[in-house]
Each structure stands twice: as structure tokens, then as C-alpha cells.
Structure 1
């Protein structure tokens, strides 16, 4: 079987692979509660997942995507203006306990930079500019998240959050993976061995994302029972967010007069959150376990189910939208 065929199989079946990883992780956690010991593997797996994801974005594509100001404007408007406004509206219904509230805020204020591309593609969206925008999204959320937490929680955020992990995340989840991807692309452009290595690494985004999902769920699932009341309290908030957020993304796309396929990508981005990346930040909060990780992973589980609805509903959006000149 050729590499192209194998990659096609992985990409066409990736949703089933992700759900299988989550189910298997749940079974492992049920039979082996000591699976919480997998937590230290989350950061290295995330870094590797982001590296192979960034490797799929040629640097020329990055420059092209970042020159599409309409798309970037809609993406930033949706994720860093409209979604925080929605979070502010939902704030009165969030748990009063600072630990639980910071867990909800961590996950709802950060746009996804990994499997959102998969679901956007399945939902008839233009996933290429979304994929190319992932480094920018990750960098901006790491810069703005402390600001939003301060606005929404005030002194409570300062008491709970240690900012060292944010710097650590920026270095190891943005700078290092993106730099390695650039080096590998330059190697591939010059030598056949580099081109072959990049082709082989191109098989790994789906398995790497599945591995991260598996480890995250296996490490946190045993704690869900210990924090069951918190899970019940935050689930309606996540369901409400899942219903409203994609509509806000679509509104941002309409404001910026995007074509329908790019508008769908913005809708997916607004609705899909970065739980896999912010989980290590949540775990760094003193006294976080089991509540903060349970609250974050609950959003992941609600979101994965919501994505199955999005891929059926979102393609119906904007059938009459006309592409505007950039």
C-alpha cells in the first residue's frame, strides 16, 4: 500500500479513529484507575501532534493565509470578541467555585487548533486557511487568555493561575513545533531524504491526535466520578455554548463578507475549543485535581458529539453567499 493510499484511509476514517480512541481510553480508565499516571505524557504528545500538524502547512501557504485579511478578520472577531462576549453572558450560570469557574473559562476562551480542521473539512468548509491560521490562533490565545481570566475573575484568577505554564506552553507548543516544521520543510525542499521523511511524517497527524485524545481521557476519566457534581453543573453550559457559538462564527463571517466555504470554517472555529492544549495549564493550578481536569474533559466529550451535528448542519449555511474580492 502506498503512503498516499494509507494517508487517504487515515484521513477519511479519522472521526471513527478519534471516537474509538476515546471509547478505548474510557474502558482502560474503568478497568485500570491508575491510568491517571499517564498525565505526564500529555505535554510531549501535544508537542508532537502540533509539530506534525504544522508540517502539513507549507510556509508559502502560511504567508498566503495571513494575507487573506477578510478571513483572518472574521476568525479573530469570532474567537476573540464574539466568543468572549458569549462567555460573559454565560458567566452568571457558571459555578461559583473559583476552581470550577477557571476550568470552564480556560476551555471556552481558547479556540481549537487541531481536530477542528478535520471537522471543518467534513462540514464542507475551506479548511486550508483554517489550518494555516492555527499557529496565529495558538499564539494569540496564549497572550489573551491571562487578560480574559483577569477580566472575568479578577483577583481570584491571580490567586489560582501560575503564569509560568503559559510561557512554557508558548515555547513548547508554538515556537519549537513550528520551528521544527520549518526546518523539516527546508530539508525536504533540498534533499530527497528530507522529502521522504516529511512524507512519512505526513501519515501521523491523525494517529498523533488519537493518541492525545486517548491519553487525556484515560488520565482524567477516573477523576470524573470524583467530580460528578461539577460535571453535572457545567454540562448545560457547554451544551448552550455548542448551540450558540457556531452561529456567532457565521455572523462574523457574514460581517466580513466571506464566501460560504470560508464562513463555515469560521463557524467551526468559533464552536470548537482547545481542551487538549489547555488541559496541562489546568493541571498546573494548585489543587486542580480532580475538579479542573474533569471540567475541561467534560467539554471535550460534549464537543465531540456536537461536531457530529455540525458536519450535518453547517454545510447548509450560505448556499447563496457570493465570494467577494479580497
Structure 2
């Protein structure tokens, strides 16, 4: 059962994404009227996804992160300075001739995950408590930096109005986040801590399903435009593969330079690998409307992420076992 759960955790979400892409593309191609009707409900699905993403944010654990300043400094530098720069360079290298896809992939690369990375951290025996404290920090910082990164990534590609992006973020994310925090507090008082925990778990389980529905709607409503660039997607996948290899090496170097113990090392490796595709897709659909190629690039970038995170877990646990077995030998020799 445990192996089955780990398999579903690593590959089930990839299967849902593929299913959403294939089913949406098939409907848009063979039943265009149905695809157009499905696309008309995109805003409702997007709003539901935003609610599910925001309702799970926990700010009560922020103080835990402040007790690990060395780790926090390494994670912030990697996630919000080095990795966005690396991601933009990789996206430009592989997709410079296709600027809209390049922008979508750069947006996908730029923001660290705020949800499923915690599950992989737990499977890798990383510091889950510290990872929980990292979630609200990652979400707030990436929302604040989004207009800056989008302006840098989209110059001469799409028209960007920074004031409109700011108002869109305020309307679709900052205000809903305040409502979500108030709703969390009220629900906890009304239903009790145990039932409230069940509600949060239910919201977490629904998020991949709603994301798959949104992906199906994007592909159903825009399959014609997406198919015109179908041959380029292999380069997009190669760019994502290169990015994941690079971030893994970056996490290893940063962990050693910061002299992090294994639990924090595992957490840093996972958080620098996992990307926040659901939130970035939602934000980008609000901030950059009517750009299906940008959305498609974000979605396709996700396809390699879950298998990659499963491989990272295996590599981390194997390295820990190797270091643990080497320690008694070195002590015996001394």
C-alpha cells in the first residue's frame, strides 16, 4: 500500500495533467462547439482553483522559519534570485525563437511550490515542520515579485500594463487571501480543529482535479493555436529537463556551502526543484489574458516535475544511507 501511495503521489498528478490535455484537445478538435462551451466556464474554474490554493495557506508557523536563518537565507537566495535567472536563461536558450512559449516557461520556472513539495519532503525524511513555515513566505514573496519578473520576461513579447497586473493581483489574490484567512479562522471555531483538518485535506485532494479541469478547458478552447506550435513542445520538455538537472546541482552546492544537516538539505533540494505551476497558471491567466501559448508552456513544464521529484527523493535517501554507512567506517579507522 505504501509503495502504491508513493507511486500515485509521484505520477498520479502527471496522469491527471496528461488526461486533461488529451481530453481537452480531443474535444476542441472533434467537437469545437463543445470545446468553446467548456472554455466559457474557465473563469469559474479559475476562481475555484484560487480558493483551493489560498485556503490552505498557514501563517501560524512563520516563527519557525525565523529560527533557521541560515536555511532561510539559502532558500530565498536560490528560489527568488538564482533560479529565476537560471530559468530565464534556459528558456531563452531553448525557445528564443518562440517568445510566447519562452515567456510561459520562464514564468513556470520562477516561483517555488507552496503545496505538494511538502509531501515529497516528508517522503524524503526532510524537515517538514520547517517546510510548513516556508509555504506562506514563498507564496507572499512570489506574488509580490510576480509583476517585476513578468515585466523583465515579457519585454518586447506581449504588452504588459504593470498597473493592471497590480490591480489584478489585488482583486484575484490579495483580497481572496484575506477572505480565506478569515474563513479559516471562522470555520475552525465553528466545526472544531479535527473537522477543519478534514476539510483542508479534502481541499488538497480536490486541487489536482480542478487543475486538470482547467487544463482541459485551456486546450479545448485553444487547440488550434496550440497545435500550430506542437513541434516546439519537445524543445520545451528538453528545457524543463535541463532546468531540473541544474536546480538539483544548485541545491547540492547550496546545502554544502551552508553546511545544512540532512533534513534541511532534503527540504532545500525539494523546494528548489518543485515549481508553483497551479498558482502561476492562475495568476498569469488573470494578468496576461488571451495568451494560450503562455498557459500551455506552464502546463507542459509540469509534466516532468512529478517524476523528477520522485527521483530526487530516491537520490536523497540513497545519499543519506551512504553517508550513514560511511560514518562508522571512518570512526573505526580513527
User: Which bracket does the TM-score occupy, shorter chain normalised?
Assistant: 0.7 to 0.9
Please name the residue that 1:3 is paired with: none
Residue in structure 1 matching 2:205, options 198, 204, 207: 207
Specify the structure having the higher radius of gyration (Cα). 2
Please name the residue that 2:51 is paired with: 48
Instruction: Please give the per-residue CA displacement for 1:125-159, whole angstroms capped at 9, x wherever unaligned.
Output: 22332232222112212222333344455x42673
Q: Is the 8 A contact 2:248 2:273 kept in 1?
A: yes
Please name the residue that 1:93 is paired with: 94
Instruction: Please give the per-residue CA displacement for 1:194-222, whole angstroms capped at 9, x wherever unaligned.
Output: 33541331332432222233123212344
Which whole-Å CA distance do the structure 1 matches of 2:214 and 2:307 have between them?
A: 17
Gaps of 5+ in 2: 29-34, 328-334
Instruction: Please give the per-residue CA displacement for 1:47-74, whole angstroms capped at 9, x wherever unaligned.
Output: 22223422xx461x22222432122112
Alignment of 1:124-143 (within 5 A): 124-143=125-144
Q: Is the 8 A contact 2:109 2:275 kept in 1?
A: yes
**SS of residue in 2 equivalent to 1:204:** helix
TM-score after normalising by structure 2: 0.78
Alpha-carbon distance, 1:32 to partner: 2.4
Please name the residue that 2:309 is paired with: 307
Please name the residue that 1:294 is paired with: 296
Please name the residue that 1:277 is paired with: 279
Alignment of 1:82-231 (within 5 A): 82-90=82-90, 91-152=92-153, 155-156=155-156, 159-160=159-160, 163-169=163-169, 172-173=172-173, 176-177=176-177, 180-181=180-181, 184-185=184-185, 188=188, 191=189, 193-222=191-220, 223=223, 224-231=226-233
Gaps of 5+ in 1: 1-8
* RMSD, matched Cα: 3.2
Q: Is the 8 A contact 2:55 2:180 kept in 1?
A: no
Task: Report how many residues are paired.
Answer: 307
Distance 1:192-1:275 versus aligned 2 partners, 3 A rule: closer
TM-score after normalising by structure 1: 0.79
Please name the residue that 1:4 is paired with: none
Distance 1:257-1:166 versus aligned 2 partners, 3 A rule: farther
Please name the residue that 1:62 is paired with: 62
Please name the residue that 2:13 is paired with: 18
More helix by share: 2
Please name the residue that 1:29 is paired with: 24
Please name the residue that 1:236 is paired with: 238
Q: Is the 8 A contact 2:108 2:277 kept in 1?
A: yes
Range that drifts further, 233-242 or 41-50: 41-50
Distance 1:170-1:18 versus aligned 2 partners, 3 A rule: farther
Please name the residue that 2:32 is paired with: none
Instruction: Please give the per-residue CA displacement for 1:88-109, whole angstroms capped at 9, x wherever unaligned.
Output: 5423333234322221221111
Which whole-Å CA distance do the structure 1 matches of 2:250 and 2:291 have between them?
A: 31
Q: Is the 8 A contact 1:160 1:285 kept in 2?
A: yes
Instruction: Please give the per-residue CA displacement for 1:151-203, whole angstroms capped at 9, x wherever unaligned.
Output: 455x4267346553454335643553365336534763xx4633354133133
Alpha-carbon distance, 1:279 to partner: 1.5
